[in-house]
Chain A
């Protein structure tokens, strides 16, 4: 790992000022993705800005029909939160199966969503629930946030502060993990609620995406059988040594079925 300067601001304003002044600086929270990337020398930040001292980015609270989760919230906190389990049990269950215990004890919601790894879990929940991403500058609907592989609508000096999840009537998540790496081969987060019927697919393509045909099928009948007949086009799906595009396309339908079944 190349060396860098380490700094720990205590407010969102101070953190974003550092990034505005130096585009080669990087934010860190849990570091479970950034540190492995730095070890591979995939990135050479001048300064690493530790966000964990920023109180305004913490906390889980319910505001009416919305669950607001601070960006610094660790996966283990979402997994064990009584508030999350009561409002969106599928989200708590999803968090409980990210990485392993030690990763969940460090990794954060904001880090996962900002990074937008195609095989990450949280982007599927954010898109599948139609959440709103709250940043240091604005509020971005999920449909406009995830732009491509490891790419989001965030500007260089823009910081993800919290995510507002609308509380659905039903929601479910299912994923097929690679047996060795445990990353998602294909996953589906489905929900029915204030944002309509939504099906978000992760792991299978270069970026999380909505499966419109499955959403239409579920609008007709909310049942696993409704999505069972919808085939995902393998064109544009990821193909690698772990699985072909055709295999991942097949998994999309299977995971969607399982997600609807788990949503009930």
Chain B
């Protein structure tokens, strides 16, 4: 059986796969990192979004074999080892940017990529457009957008904490 060697959340793994194994299957079934969700499995909903070498991608539409040598970050890799949440996670909590929570890992991973790509800052309309590839069926978009707007201020060093951004 073929193997793939990749880094996931900073740790190197060599995993036996089939040619058809998807990245999301490798993450969930081989590494038991079940924070990355499979929603639609048709690359529309974005629940499976992870970062490959810093770029957000849909893990349900990426072959595991094509990730040889790649550096993958999943939702489990965002918080610091001491448990301190990433500002985006903190903002989602602070703004109640989730209801059932199913879409949340993908939303957070897409949002982190979106904010990192736009150090100049994003308007509300730009945040909404940037979430084109993520669906929330609880329709909780308003608070998700507010959370991302707050998190970008902290991520770009314009405010120190999410709580400060909330005021």
Asked if A101 contacts B110 (CB within 8 A), the reply is yes
CB-defined contacts of B27 to chain A, threshold 8 Å: none
Asked if A103 contacts B20 (CB within 8 A), the reply is no
A2 is an interface residue with CB less than 8 A from chain B: yes
CB-defined contacts of B68 to chain A, threshold 8 Å: 8
Give the size of the chain A interface in residues (CB under 8 angstroms).
Answer: 26
> With A and B bound together, what is the CA distance between A35 and B42 in angstroms?
9
Within 100-122 of B, Cβ neighbours of A (below 8 Å) are at 110, 113-114
> With A and B bound together, what is the CA distance between A50 and B114 in angstroms?
28
A4 is an interface residue with CB less than 8 A from chain B: yes
B66 is an interface residue with CB less than 8 A from chain A: yes
Asked if A32 contacts B43 (CB within 8 A), the reply is yes
B87 is an interface residue with CB less than 8 A from chain A: no
A36 in contact with B20 given A99-B133, A101-B114, A103-B43 (CB within 8 Å): no
Asked if A4 contacts B20 (CB within 8 A), the reply is yes
B56 is an interface residue with CB less than 8 A from chain A: yes
CB-defined contacts of B20 to chain A, threshold 8 Å: 1-4, 38
Asked if A50 contacts B65 (CB within 8 A), the reply is yes
CB-defined contacts of B65 to chain A, threshold 8 Å: 6, 8, 50
Contact mask for chain B residues 49-76; partner A; CB cutoff 8 A; 1 contact, 0 none = 1000001111001110110100000000
Asked if A39 contacts B41 (CB within 8 A), the reply is yes
Can you list 6 A-B contacts with CB-CB less than 8 angstroms, sorted by A residue number?
A1-B20, A6-B19, A8-B68, A35-B22, A99-B133, A100-B133
> Which A residues are closer than 8 A to B by beta carbons?
1-6, 8, 28, 31-32, 35-36, 38-39, 48, 50, 52, 76, 99-103, 105-106, 182
